[in-house]
Amino acid sequence: MKTIKGPAIFLAQFIDDSEPFNSLDGICKWASDLGYKGVQIPTTDSRLIDLEKAAESQTYCDEFKGKINGYGLEITELSTHIQGQLVAVHPAHDIMFDAFAPKHLKGNYKGRTEWAIQQMKYAASASNRLGLKAHATFSGSLLWPMMHPWPQQPKGLIELGFKELADRWKPILNTFQDNGVAVCYEVHPVEDIHDGDTFERFLEATGNHKAVNMLYDPSHFVLQQLDYIKYIDHYHEFIKSFHVKDSEFNPTGKKGVFGGYNDWKDRAGRYRSPGDGQVDFKKIFSKLTEYGCDVWAVLEWECVIKSPEQGAREGVDFINKHIIESTNKRFDDFAASNASDDELKKILGL
């Protein structure tokens, strides 16, 4: 067994134009003052990190890491959720996902994909230079519009979609493997990797690539009505990253899993601050500890009711209360006794 590290916090939802959230120093001091021990760094905002420079310069990485360490913090992972999303985009989503692309690539969908793939490769090198072993990202999606089989999916369509997704990712995965870093796909709605079956389809399509792993976030499974505890039993060996985020699912006579196109606060399934939803984190922390998952417990704030500042403040104690100091001692060791082979045979009446 292994003790989960934490508490840590994902900074993506906190970056702002106002202090202290508009600079690396400001946001790190804020997180440290709250009691966090680690930060997960999004890589799309140059106020936090220059990803290309981090990929190319060990000096830059040493100074970057030193600055964060100076606040009593560790880097848990870099995040390329946005860039990973843009590795694979179905044409139905092209215009909306263009909001994530650099200005000079808007409308240039092929160029956007090439940019995203290069960004992922930069992230592999940067993670290595920073001494990180895991990386958080999205898979992107070519198949989500076909999620419900109506109209009926033509034979071979799903297989072709996963083959294409794997073909785009394999050069990236090779780069991460060469750098000794695990690619942790957040299993998430709208991504082609959104549950256990789709994770297995992708893994098989990559030829069981060793770099393929996952970021476990139970909140997405509550919204899908998937057993998030048994999920750990199935996939614990792949869980290398962990988001502590809560959610709730309250279906009515008018809406259920699909949500009726409502805003988040009006959906049957909605995200909540840790402790305010339906996720059984006691069981999750127990399972992850029991299986020896070497992960940071990283708070991700997404709540339709509670402010991010309150969620961050409360998240420190919430995670601390759930981290289990794994034992290397059996509770009945006081009654242990040694016996020779002959005595063992006598005990069995042999």
**Interatomic CA distance for residues 195 and 287, integer angstroms:** 18
Tokens encoding 124: 């592999």
List average pLDDT for each run of 10 residues in the chain, which is 350 residues long: 96 96 98 98 97 98 98 98 98 97 96 98 98 98 95 96 98 98 97 98 98 98 98 98 98 96 96 98 98 98 97 98 89 77 93
Q: In the block, which residue shows the tokens 């988040």?
A: 264
pLDDT of 339-349, one tens digit each? 899 999 999 99
On the 0-12 / 13-18 / 19+ scale of CB atoms within 10 A, 83 is buried
pLDDT of 283-307, one tens digit each? 999 999 999 999 999 999 999 999 9
Q: What's residue 176's pLDDT?
A: 98
Closest CA to 293 of 232, 202, 234: 232
pLDDT of 121-158, one tens digit each? 999 999 999 999 999 999 999 999 999 999 999 999 99
**Interatomic CA distance for residues 343 and 350, integer angstroms:** 10
Q: What's residue 25's pLDDT?
A: 98
CB 303 within 8 A of CB 276: yes
Q: What's residue 335's pLDDT?
A: 66
Type of residue found at 198? T
pLDDT of 17-34, one tens digit each? 999 999 999 999 999 999
**Interatomic CA distance for residues 187 and 223, integer angstroms:** 12
**183 beta partners:** 135, 212
For each of the domains in the chain, give its residue range(s) and CATH number, in order of start.
Answer: 5-347 (3.20.20.150)
CB 88 within 8 A of CB 106: no
Q: What's residue 57's pLDDT?
A: 98
